Structure 1
Amino acid sequence: MEFTTEGLAALSKAIAIVGTGFASAWAEKIIGTAAVGAMVENESLFGKALVLTVLPETIVIFGLVVAILI
């Protein structure tokens, strides 16, 4: 098996995107569960809960930027 620079670059891009995708999904699961629980007790926390739920998506954006730069 021969490794080429193009193949290794493609593998690196895939790892960057998949890794950040899984990390973001895991973080959103935990934050989303806590946010829904907090909103059940106090509905005025919707804005803060929404921001905290969307925040992990920036991890995927960073992964995409890294993949573009590779």
Structure 2
Amino acid sequence: MALAETILAAENSISGNIATVGYGLAVIGPGIGLGILIGKTIEGMARQPEVSGQLRTTMFIGIGFVEVLGLLGLVTGFLFT
């Protein structure tokens, strides 16, 4: 009987939702994407400095899209937990 009581106590002590962990992990993807995006833009600027203005503009548009994905994951975690 003590084992059953221990299991029930353990189940009652776990709080929160597993989705919280999932939404937290969803923010890792955009972080990796930002690193790749910025790194490749800098690499492109180093190879062809004459197109650095176009690369920078495209990079900032891409950063905006990637940040929206990260913020959606974060806000969704707050809304559904």
Determine if the TM-score, normalized by the shorter chain, exceeds 0.5.
yes
- Structure 1 unaligned runs (5+)? none
Cα offset, 1:3, TM superposition: 4.7
Q: How many residues align?
A: 67
The match for 2:78 is: 68
Deviation beyond 3 Å, 4+ runs, structure 1: none
The percent of aligned pairs where both chains have the same amino acid is 12
- 1:25-68, CA deviations, whole angstroms, 9 ceiling, x for partnerless residues? 11111111111122231222211122213321112211122112
The match for 2:15 is: 7
The TM-score, its normalising length taken from structure 1, stands at 0.70
- Structure 2 unaligned runs (5+)? 1-9
Decide which structure has the larger Cα Rg and report it: 2
Indicate the RMSD between aligned Cα atoms, in angstroms. 2.2
